Amino acid sequence: MKNWLRELLRKADADYVEVRLEETVRTSVNFTGPTLEECTQNLSFGGCVRALVKGGWGFTCFNSLDELEKKVKLAVEHARAVGLRRGEDLRLAEVPVVDVAVPFEPVNDPADVPIDRKVETLRAYNDIVLSFDERITTSSARYHDARRKLTFATSEGAWIEREDTDLAVSVAAVVNTPAGTFFARAYNGSSNDYNVVLGLEEEILEKCRDVLDIAAAEPVKGGKYTVILDPALAGVFIHEAFGHLSEADFVYEDPHLQEVMVLGREFGPPELNVADTGLDVGTRGYLPYDDEGVPTERTYLIREGKLVGRLHSRETAAKMGERPTGSARAINYRHPPIPRMRNTVIEAGDVPFDEMVRATEDGLYCLDARGGQTNGELFTFTAADAFVIRDGKIAERVRDVTLTGNVFETLRNIDMIGNDYRLRDSGGGCGKGGQFPLPVSHGSPHVRIRNVVVGGK
Amino acid sequence: MTPEKILEKAASASDAAEVYFSRRESLSVSFENNRIKESTSSDLQGTAVRVLKDGRVGFSVSTRPGDGSAADTAVSLARFGKRAGFAFPPQPDVKPFPFDPSHVDGITPERAASECAAAVERLRSLGDGVLAFCGMGKERFSSRILSTAGLDFAVDDGYVQWHCGVTRNVEGDFLTIYDYRIGRVFDGFDALVEKVSEEYRLCSSTEKIKGGKYRVLFTPRALSSLLRVFNDCLSGKAVAKRISPWADRKGERLFDERITYLTDLVSEDAPFRRAVDDEGVPAGRKLLVDRGVLASFYHNLDSAAECGDEPTGHGFRSSVGAQPAPSLFCARLLPGDDSLDDLASGAQLWVEDLLGASMSNSFSGIITGNVSLGFTVKDGARVARVKDAMLSVNVFELFRDAVLGISSTVERHGAALLPYLLLDGVSVSA
């Protein structure tokens, strides 16, 4: 198979061809209220071919591996039709041609955990929520793991075989009141260790207490605030507000944007260091090789407040004369790889959290995220929980806090970076170009930002 | 292994079984940054097996062609499964809608590339620094569901989707404008190009607004963001799980009497026309909110059984790998009596798109989003682009107390058919 496929790709009449073949077994367990709604195991099997001819891309995906030769030809035909109109002499950025079988070395392999135990662990978590207080209306406890076997080959001779795993758990307490329905959620995730699913009892109890208080809280008053973001929310902030802007497919063919995003430009205070890394083994953003066969790395995006890098595919790196960063990712065989984040982090500063709060006369302390979105310049994300800060002290809880702003202004308005860096994997994922949810991670210390617009009454 | 054989295999080890097979073949061409970028195709299929065994549901899927292993997995997992409050339905007394493939088959890669190239040429001429993007694709879809209850129903369908837009990213003023269409028949890029061009010209000036309460005109696209509250709170699953705050309020007047909301999966022009849902239950026209009164919820087999209601034919699978769930397609908010000009005359803001609205907690009724495309309005005319303004709309309250008017005309947004809506007292933070 290996030699046959490599030879097939080498002979293809294209500037570049790659094949990805995948087999994924996904286990899902999902309680809603007292009911086990879902306990399934699905097999996803398929592949894709991507070809490049004169700067034009062709892509085809399929479930049947029969007649793979015809599928390679089809992708090349697609690429040729595009290349004829485009007529571009594009050479992808050069990378080492690897021939490797990447060992998968789990700490506690979810594939070794019987499904009965997964169900019982979730059931126990779910019962904690349902028995906590009669004001809790219902619960949600979700778990998934996905074990994937991946084969990757290119016309350049690259060959990668690897297995990976993604797993996540999320347990929510739900309160339904005349004012609406409110959630608080405990979660965790990993790429190699089922143990992260275990021992969440205390955190779930805390979320049960939180949701009752959130439901009783007043909605936040809209306006401009000084906000302190906790590490979880600051991680989502940097992902939404800056990470997406750093994905080079946003920039590489836009001369105006290249002026805005010129390397060396000052984006934030000198204390601000932002990186995106695939090196953190065990995080959901861990990625030994990207989906173009490029080894992963830690890519600095901002160093001492200045733009120093961006996230590249081989195409965007070639066009911008920069180095590939191992950031081309596809969510599965049904999609071509595009520049994406892995684990996006704000590195630790030196301000203790207590000092940050004491130095904030009026503001909001915002915790955890319920998701975020960006259009490049604008970003918005919703805090899962929030408190008013008054006279340098954390005061009453408020709800329905959605933060928004201009990326460039907001980064400049960061004025304190905490010394308490924390990395936490969420149960969700990142969406871009119809590819959702891609496993990613975030890490950050507490961060303070001035003049953030908060929606509300 | 054929679907019949997989059904036989599943049935032999369970009390009842259902097999759902689907195949999607698609083709698309896309342009980015004023140039053709990519041509893609797909041929994807999968087989889902659902069984009822000892009163519980088992489910599994395989996308490996001809693979019958999902039958074994579904049977083995049924011991953990949810208690089945339903039986698989018998063959429905409806026929599949006929599908004329000629409109879809007529979209070749060459034609798609030519149509897109012409649209891009028109859009890039809007101004210096404008980067146009455009795409066009088609999908042929076939499915077959068969069960031990005697159900054997095949669906053959297809549609074309096309989109276009422009970006202009200069310091302090990033702008993206786009729109899309989906339907059985491609009717050209003209309407989209004209809409995007008009909005682009209106964005030549920007106006900062102050925070406060505004009269806001929501276009069908912006309205669809607000109607997520309806879609989520009316879902039979949310009702069954007591997540919906409307679970016990059927028959109550919750909204202005001009609000009538329904789904219509059978009208001739519905982009996803279906005679039955993905569980074989006849689909149809379902009134959800009738002149402000909460009339009914939408259900699949499971949620209907949990709520003690009848299934409504809304059990759809978001992908072949997903179990059927209550899903709302082809929504319609019925038009009102007001002309769009009259509504615009009463508006201070005209909102086309909200960034981040999808992250709001719809069960709290509050949709919050940054105005990614919107305009100030003076004397009924759009004047300048609004930026850096966050809208917060309490749908529960404003659809009850603050509806100033609903347009007499409707427009397609995706599969939904929606009017323009003018609301009073919308909170804006800036």
For B68-123, write each residue's pLDDT tens digit. 999 999 999 999 999 999 999 999 999 999 999 998 999 999 999 999 999 999 99
- The conformation of residue A385, written as its DSSP 8-state character, comes to E
CA distance B427 to B429: 7
User: Domain-by-domain residue ranges, chain B?
Assistant: 3-201, 208-430
Contact A56, A79 (CB under 8 A): yes
Residue B290 forms beta bridges with which residues?
B293
pLDDT in tens, B309-363: 999 999 999 998 899 999 998 999 999 999 999 999 999 999 999 988 887 889 8
β-strands A274-277, B173-183 pairing: unpaired
Q: Of A37, A81, A181, which is closest to B364 when you measure between CB atoms?
A: A181
For chain A, list the domains and their CATH numbers: 2-216 (3.30.2290.10), 219-455 (no CATH)
Q: How many residues does chain B have?
A: 430
Residue B206 tokens read as 């920007």
Q: Judge: domain B3-201, CATH 3.30.2290.10.
A: yes
Note which residues in 140-179 of chain A have CB less than 8 A from chain B: 174, 176-179
B contact test, residue of A67, A181, A267, A364 with most B CBs within 10 A: A181
Q: Of A36, A138, A457, which is closest to B80 when you measure between CB atoms?
A: A36
Residue B204 tokens read as 């030549």
Q: What is the pLDDT of residue B388?
A: 84
Chain A, chain B: beta-carbon pairs less than 8 Å apart = 258
Chain A residues close to B429, C-beta within 8 Å: 222-224, 453-456
Three-state DSSP state, A125:
helix
* B356 reaches A (C-beta below 8 A): yes
φ/ψ of residue A406, rounded to 5 = -90, 130
* B319 reaches A (C-beta below 8 A): no
| Region for residue B239 given its phi and psi (left: phi exceeds 0; alpha: psi -120 to 50; beta: otherwise) | alpha
CA distance B327 to B286: 13
* A25 reaches B (C-beta below 8 A): no
CA torsion A70-A72-A78-A79 (nearest 10°) is: -150
Residue A154 forms beta bridges with which residues?
A18
CA distance A417 to A406: 19
Cβ within 8 Å, pair B83-A35: yes
Contact B132, B165 (CB under 8 A): yes
φ/ψ of residue B20, rounded to 5 = -120, 120
CA distance B245 to B234: 9
A contact test, residue of B241, B300, B367, B397 with most A CBs within 10 A: B241
Three-state DSSP state, A295:
strand
Residue type, A21: L
Q: Of A33, A138, A180, which is closest to B361 when you measure between CB atoms?
A: A180
> For the residues B52-65, what does the mean pLDDT come to?
97
B contact test, residue of A42, A85, A134, A247 with most B CBs within 10 A: A42
How close, in Å, is residue A345 to chain B by CA atoms?
22
Residue A82 tokens read as 């595009």
What CA–CA distances, in Å, run from A315 to A80, A168, A325, A327, A404?
17, 32, 11, 11, 32
Q: Of A176, A374, A404, which is closest to B242 when you measure between CB atoms?
A: A176
Q: Is the pLDDT of residue B383 over 80?
A: yes
What CA–CA distances, in Å, run from B333 to A304, B233, B234, B237, B291?
52, 16, 14, 22, 11
Q: Of B131, B242, B392, which is closest to A254 when you measure between CB atoms?
A: B131
B contact test, residue of A16, A24, A174, A375 with most B CBs within 10 A: A375
Q: Is the pLDDT of residue B289 over 90?
A: yes
pTM of the model: 0.95
β-strands B206-207, B381-386 pairing: parallel
How close, in Å, is residue B331 to chain A by CA atoms?
22
Residue type, A128: I
Q: What is the pLDDT of residue B259?
A: 98
Q: Of A46, A81, A180, which is closest to B39 when you measure between CB atoms?
A: A81
Q: Which residue has the tokens 């790196």?
A: A317
Q: Which residues contact B355 (CB under 8 A, 6 or more apart)?
A: A373, A374, A375, A378, A380, A404, B369, B370, B371, B372
State which residues of chain A have pLDDT below 50: none
Q: Which residue has the tokens 């009717």?
A: B187
How close, in Å, is residue A165 to chain B by CA atoms?
18
What CA–CA distances, in Å, run from B118 to A363, B31, B384?
52, 11, 28
Q: Which residues contact B341 (CB under 8 A, 6 or more apart)?
A: B380
- The conformation of residue A64, written as its DSSP 8-state character, comes to -
pLDDT in tens, A439-453: 999 999 999 999 999
The 3 state secondary structure assigned to A162-211 is EEEEEEEEEEEEEEEECCEEEEEEEEEEECCEHHHHCCCHHHHHHHHHHH
Contact A249, A324 (CB under 8 A): no
Residue B25 forms beta bridges with which residues?
B43, B140
Chain A residues close to B363, C-beta within 8 Å: 176, 180-181
Chain B residues close to A267, C-beta within 8 Å: none
CA distance B374 to B426: 14
CA torsion A113-A117-A122-A127 (nearest 10°) is: -160
* A371 reaches B (C-beta below 8 A): yes
CA distance B281 to B266: 13
Residue B110 tokens read as 């060459």
Q: What is the pLDDT of residue A70?
A: 96
Three-state DSSP state, B132:
strand
φ/ψ of residue B62, rounded to 5 = -135, 140
What does the angle CA B61 – CA B63 – CA B66 come to, to the nearest 5 degrees? 100
Cβ within 8 Å, pair A456-B174: no
Contact A146, A166 (CB under 8 A): yes
Chain B residues close to A38, C-beta within 8 Å: 59, 82, 323
Three-state DSSP state, B31:
strand
pLDDT in tens, B143-200: 999 999 999 999 999 999 999 999 998 877 889 999 999 998 999 999 999 999 999 9
Note which residues in 59-78 of chain B have CB less than 8 A from chain A: 59-65, 67, 69-70, 73, 77
pLDDT in tens, B207-232: 999 999 999 999 999 999 999 999 99
